[in-house]
Amino acid sequence: MPAPTISHVILTAALITVVFTVQVFYFYVVDNVWAEMTRKELKELSDYVADTIANLYFLLNATNTNPTLTKTLRLPLDISGSSYKLQIIYDQSNNAQTVKSSLKDKSWLSSTAWLPKGLKVDTGKTQIIESSAKTVVAGCQRVSSNIRIWIAYQG
C-alpha cells in the first residue's frame, strides 16, 4: 500500500511545480510581448515627430523668406496605458540629434528617431513634452543662417 501513496504524493508535487513554473514563464513572455509592442508604439511616436520637423525644415528651405512654421501635433494621451515624455536630444552646441520618446515610469523603455543634420534647437522655446490633453506644436524658423527647431505646448 505505501508504494501507490508515495507515487501519488510525488505526482501531485510534480504537477504543482509544473503549474507554478508555467505561470512564471507565461508572465515573463507576456511582459516581453508588452514591452516590444510598447517600444514599437514609442518608435512610431518618435518617427512621427521627427518626420514632422523634417517636413517643416524642407518647407522652410523651399522659401526665400524667413517665416516661422509650426504644426500642431496629434499625440496620443497615453501609450500602452502609461504616460510618456517626448523631447529633442541635442549636444552642447545646440545641434539637434534625435527625437526621444520614453515611458515616464519605465525610462528604460524608450525609442529615438534621427533628425536631419544642420538643425539647431531653439532652447528658449523647446520643452520636454509629457502626455496630456494639452496642444503640442512643432516649430521651425530660420535665424540668420541657422534653422532652429522646437517642440512645445501651444500658448
Q: What is the C-alpha separation between 68 and 150, in angstroms, rounded? A: 11
For 155, the 3-state DSSP assignment is coil
Q: What is the C-alpha separation between 86 and 66, in angstroms, rounded? A: 27
Provide the domain count of the chain: 1
Q: Which helix (H) or strand (E) holds 13?
A: helix 2-61
Q: Are the beta carbons of 71 and 53 closer than 8 angstroms?
A: no
Q: Which three cell numbers stand for residue 43?
A: 518608435
3-state SS string over 93-146?
CCEEEEEEEEECCCCCCEEEEECCCCEEECCCCCCCEECCCCCEEEEEEEECCE
Domain holding 17, by residue range, is: 2-153
Say which residues have a Cβ less than 8 Å from residue 34's Cβ, sequence separation at least 6: 80
pTM score of the predicted model? 0.84
pLDDT digits (tens, 9 = 90+) for 44-101: 999 999 999 999 999 998 888 888 999 999 999 999 889 999 999 999 999 999 999 9
pLDDT digits (tens, 9 = 90+) for 121-139: 998 888 899 988 899 999 9
